[in-house]
């Protein structure tokens, strides 16, 4: 896909804004809202990239639900409408009928969850400790010493005591730690789970689960000369605070040895949207709602003239039959073709190797 054909705007963008990277997040006071959950790829770049990434994931979900191509066209139209509404500051209450049923369900589930739900989901023991096995691997002495030093630092203490009304001077105790084998994102990089105890209200110790993840260079395209932090962990945290303040204020940039890492407390309310099967109406609602979330994330970083200019750019190059920019539709179609061809080629190579 030729990126030079796309219109241009310049807020911070997440660079990987697909369905699985959106979901409920809790802020420091326990409030919950749907925002962008994963910001490893955040860069200062073109907001059009986020629209294309979201459109591609929605189109793929529609194909997986055996919906016809006309539904994908309708989703694209409603995605643009939702994004424009988000730029204008519009919000949706979770109970509104225009909110997809799956979003309403996950939001209700998020609000009900407590620490025991997070512990059960992450297969943590009641001791509390981290059970070693396929998902959690034992630490070397060097790793354990480095993680303990990180946990005892002032930065992490301020991070965890800043949440849920914990005393500012509360001490932190390291209870357990393990290397976290968390899918493909763990391969070839540092990823750790750390259990820490911190004194909460009334002097009762709370158990917290800390996620420590190595920050690697972004693959997403950025604007040449953009003033981004050179440290990848600082880039991710800065992007999170700009795009997803509920998450960004719970994150900290640090280092383990020479490697930059992003540190955050996982809360029971943090969930991802897992939308596997969509009806036509739900697909259209999902496109509008999720694009509205992305539009609000972009709008936080734009002043009035910048938003006006970007809205005018989005209104250009629309055909008489499809109420969405032609560049967006062409990009989604081109990427679907590319993904399908790459998948079939991969299957062919695998079959040949097996033979």
pLDDT digits (tens, 9 = 90+) for 222-273: 888 778 889 999 999 999 999 999 999 889 999 998 899 999 988 889 888 8
Clarify whether residues 262 and 146 are in a common domain.
yes
Per-residue pLDDT at 115 exceeds 80? no
- Whether 49 is in a domain gets the answer yes
Token pair in block for residue 238: 């800065």
In the chain, how many H helices and how many E strands? 11, 10
- Whether 345 is in a domain gets the answer yes
**pLDDT value at position 346?**
87
- Whether 238 is in a domain gets the answer no
Burial 181-219 (b: 16+ CB within 10 A, else e): eeeeebeeebbbbbbbbbbbeeeeebbbbbbbbbbbebe
Per-residue pLDDT at 201 exceeds 70? no
- Whether 300 is in a domain gets the answer yes
Concatenated DSSP letters of 101-126: HHHHHHHHHHHH--HHHHHHHTT-BT
Model confidence pLDDT, tens digit, residues 60-98: 888 888 888 888 889 999 999 999 999 988 887 766 777
Clarify whether residues 78 and 127 are in a common domain.
no
Alpha helices in the chain (DSSP H): 47-64, 69-87, 101-112, 115-121, 141-151, 154-161, 232-243, 245-248, 280-299, 304-315, 326-354
Beta bridge partners of 262: 213, 253
Percent of the chain past pLDDT 90, that is, above it, reads: 28
Measured distance CA(132)–CA(112) in Å, rounded? 28
Clarify whether residues 199 and 251 are in a common domain.
yes
Clarify whether residues 346 and 217 are in a common domain.
no
Number of folded domains that form the chain: 2
Clarify whether residues 306 and 348 are in a common domain.
yes
Clarify whether residues 257 and 278 are in a common domain.
no
- Whether 145 is in a domain gets the answer yes
Clarify whether residues 303 and 211 are in a common domain.
no
Main-chain phi, psi angles of 18, to 5 degrees: -115, 175
Lowest-pLDDT choice from 179-183, 308-312, 321-325: 321-325
Is there a contact between 19 and 273 (Cβ–Cβ < 8 Å)?
Answer: yes
- Whether 241 is in a domain gets the answer no
Main-chain phi, psi angles of 297, to 5 degrees: -65, -40
Clarify whether residues 145 and 261 are in a common domain.
yes
Mean of the per-residue pLDDT values for the chain?
85
Clarify whether residues 155 and 256 are in a common domain.
yes
- Whether 54 is in a domain gets the answer yes
Clarify whether residues 313 and 171 are in a common domain.
no
Token pair in block for residue 220: 């997403």
Clarify whether residues 262 and 332 are in a common domain.
no
Is there a contact between 297 and 49 (Cβ–Cβ < 8 Å)?
Answer: no
Measured distance CA(113)–CA(34) in Å, rounded? 15
Model confidence pLDDT, tens digit, residues 263-307: 998 888 988 887 767 788 888 999 999 999 999 999 988 888 888
Is there a contact between 7 and 313 (Cβ–Cβ < 8 Å)?
Answer: yes
pLDDT confidence of 317, banded at 50, 70, 90?
A: low
**Structural domain range at position 194:** 115-232+246-266
Clarify whether residues 260 and 169 are in a common domain.
yes
């Amino acid at each position: 896909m030729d990126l030079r054909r796309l219109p241009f705007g310049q807020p911070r963008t997440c660079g990987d804004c697909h369905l699985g990277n959106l979901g409920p997040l809790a802020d420091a006071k326990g409030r919950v809202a749907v925002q962008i959950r994963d910001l490893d790829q955040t860069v200062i770049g073109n907001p059009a990239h986020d629209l294309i990434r979201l459109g591609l994931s929605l189109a793929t979900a529609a194909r997986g639900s055996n919906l016809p191509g006309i539904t994908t066209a309708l989703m694209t139209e409603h995605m643009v409408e939702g994004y424009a509404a988000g730029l204008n500051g519009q919000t949706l209450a979770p109970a509104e009928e225009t909110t997809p049923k799956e979003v309403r369900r996950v939001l209700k589930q998020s609000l009900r969850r407590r620490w025991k739900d997070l512990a059960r989901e992450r297969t943590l023991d009641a001791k509390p400790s981290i059970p070693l096995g396929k998902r959690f691997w034992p630490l070397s002495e060097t790793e354990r010493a480095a993680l303990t030093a990180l946990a005892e630092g002032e930065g992490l203490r301020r991070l965890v005591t800043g949440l849920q009304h914990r005393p500012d001077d509360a001490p932190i105790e390291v209870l357990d730690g393990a290397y976290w084998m968390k899918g493909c994102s763990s391969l070839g990089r540092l990823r750790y789970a750390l259990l820490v105890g911190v004194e909460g209200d009334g002097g009762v110790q709370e158990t917290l689960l800390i996620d420590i993840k190595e920050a690697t260079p972004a693959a997403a395209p950025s604007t040449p000369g953009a003033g981004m932090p050179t440290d990848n962990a600082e880039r991710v945290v800065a992007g999170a605070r700009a795009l997803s303040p509920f998450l960004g204020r719970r994150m900290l940039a640090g280092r383990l040895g020479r490697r930059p890492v992003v540190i955050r407390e996982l809360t029971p309310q943090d969930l991802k949207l897992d939308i596997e099967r969509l009806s036509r109406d739900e697909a259209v609602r999902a496109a509008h709602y999720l694009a509205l979330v992305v539009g609000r994330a972009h709008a936080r970083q734009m002043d009035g003239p910048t938003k006006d200019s970007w809205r005018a750019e989005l209104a250009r190059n629309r055909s008489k039959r499809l109420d969405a920019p032609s560049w967006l539709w062409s990009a989604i179609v081109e990427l679907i073709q590319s993904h399908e061809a790459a998948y079939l080629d991969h299957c062919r190579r695998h079959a040949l190797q097996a033979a």
